Amino acid sequence: MTAGGADIRHSLTRHFHPGVPGVIGVAVSGGSDSLALLYLLHDWQRDGGPDLRAATVDHGLRAEAAAEAAEVARICAGLGIAHETLTWRGHDGAGNLPDRARRARYALLAEWARGHGIADIAVGHTEDDLAETFVMRLARGAGVDGLAAMRDRWRVAGVRFHRPLLGLGREALRDLLRVRGVAWVEDPTNSDAAYERARTRAALAALAPLGIDTATLAATARKMAGARAALYHQAHGLAQDHVRIEAGDVVIARAALRDMPDEAARRILQTALRWINGAEYPPRGPAMTQFLAAARDGETMTLQGCYMQAQGDMLRIGREYNAVAGLRVPQGQVWDGRWCIEGPEMAGAEVAALGPEGLRACPDWRAGGLPHGAALASPALWRGEELMAAPLAGWSGGYALRLSRDGASYFDALLSH
């Protein structure tokens, strides 16, 4: 291995220390970045590093994809690495294709990993991807969070994904493959101006003579990540003093929210929404700006399946009834991604929102202190059309409710960005 190759290898292995996994899954498309990742991990494995398993996702969007996956399988066989091709046939022609394909890819990889007892998957994003993403988000008017560097670790469905090559440029990795005589696939969409990323790469090539190159933009993205961490740290401290969790809702002191810096207040509200609705992403900038203004003015507003309303000197954010009105799960299952009902098992019983009919069956529901909207969306136990228990509306019926993600997880979420 050349001196440059040794530096690349060291950069990769350092990412996984301490606590190196016993086995790493690696996502390999056949492009230069993921192939370089495969070979680097294989070098490490031969020197006593983690075991490897590889997977390729065929999205079914290009005729060549199946042959490319077969070529990856051939390469893996030559290296003695088990390989599987995962197929997605879910595109119906609607929606944002790159986003849907990305979500499907990570869902398939996470399912594959769990099936093999793999907790960690490495993907081949590089410093070039970091710079390109920065420019694309800049074009959308993103703020600090959007411009911050891509995460080098994150979770999908309980599986840890890793980007161990974010500090390395694409050309350095291609040089490594050239030395080994390894050919890679060029995805035609990378040069198709119909795709945003292809247009961004062309723009970066034009900007490079001005010093606005991949390394400069990646460094700026990393600085923005540091700023993001500092802002969330500030928001966490303010939340500890002015936020509480009550009956699954997030309750915030209105006066304190008005006095907070915008960026801290915005993060407290964003985290409240995602803690309640379990969404992967917060609302987009304009919607969040409107939500912040409404919160400070004490106005009622719904957003992303949550409602917000003032209660005296407090602001309550909870689940919107319309978002869960049709949601029913058998007793014993988690309802709305966060509520468990505990008590005697009852044949045919289901957990569903209390709703208007259930509320009429609970004449003392106001004694619990919940506003009308919160009571409507609260979980209850039903058997057919018969209400059996509504623990948050003053009728326990011998049952109790438990949050599957407790209040502490709200505050933890403010520090996990």
Write out pLDDT tens, residues 106-143: 999 999 999 999 999 999 999 999 999 999 999 988 88
Give pLDDT, residue 39. 97
Q: Look up the CATH architecture of domain 3-125+163-212.
A: 3-Layer(aba) Sandwich (3.40)
Instruction: Give the per-residue SS3 of 336-389.
Output: CCCEEEECCCCCCEEEEECHHHHHHCCCCHHHHCCCHHHHHCCEEEEECCEEEE
pLDDT of residue 92: 65
31 is in an annotated binding site: yes
Continuous segment of H or E residues that includes residue 258: helix 254-259
pLDDT, average across residues 75-84: 97
Is the pLDDT assigned to residue 23 strictly greater than 80?
Answer: yes
Name residue 296's amino acid: R
Q: What count of Cα atoms within 13 Å lies in the side-chain half-sphere of residue 114? A: 10
Q: Using one digit for the tens of pLDDT, what is the confidence trace for 370-392?
A: 899 999 999 999 999 999 999 99
- Residue 306 phi, psi (nearest 5): -125, 155
Q: Tell which wins on pLDDT, 284 or 220.
A: 220
Q: Is residue 2 scored above 60 in pLDDT? A: no
How does residue 339 score in pLDDT terms, banded at 50, 70 and 90? very high
Nearest Cα neighbor of 410 from 253, 246, 258 is 246
pLDDT of residue 4: 57
What average pLDDT is seen over the chain?
Answer: 92
Give the gyration radius of the chain's Cα atoms.
25
In DSSP terms, 301 is beta-bridged to: 308
115 is in an annotated binding site: no
* Domain covering 242-320+408-413 assigned CATH 3.30.465.60 in the classification: yes
Tokens 């694309």 — which residue? 136
Q: Is the pLDDT of residue 3 over 70?
A: no
Position with higher pLDDT, 238 vs 404: 238
Going by pLDDT thresholds of 50, 70 and 90, the confidence category of residue 193 is confident
**pLDDT, mean of residues 32-55:** 96
**Does the structure show a pLDDT above 50 at 74?**
yes
Contacts for 281-288 with beta carbons within 8 Å, 24 or more apart? 285/141, 285/142, 285/143
* 11 annotated as ligand-binding: no
pLDDT in tens, 348-365: 999 999 999 999 999 888
Residue 93 has pLDDT above 70, yes or no: no
156-181: average pLDDT: 95
Listed in order, the ranges of the chain carrying CATH 3.40.50.620 are: 3-125+163-212
Residue 361: per-residue pLDDT = 93
Where do the CATH 3.30.465.60 domains begin and end in the chain?
242-320+408-413
Share of the chain above pLDDT 90, in %: 78
Tell whether 30 is in a known binding site.
yes
Q: pLDDT tens, 285-325?
A: 889 999 999 999 999 999 999 999 999 999 999 999 999 99
pLDDT at 109: 97
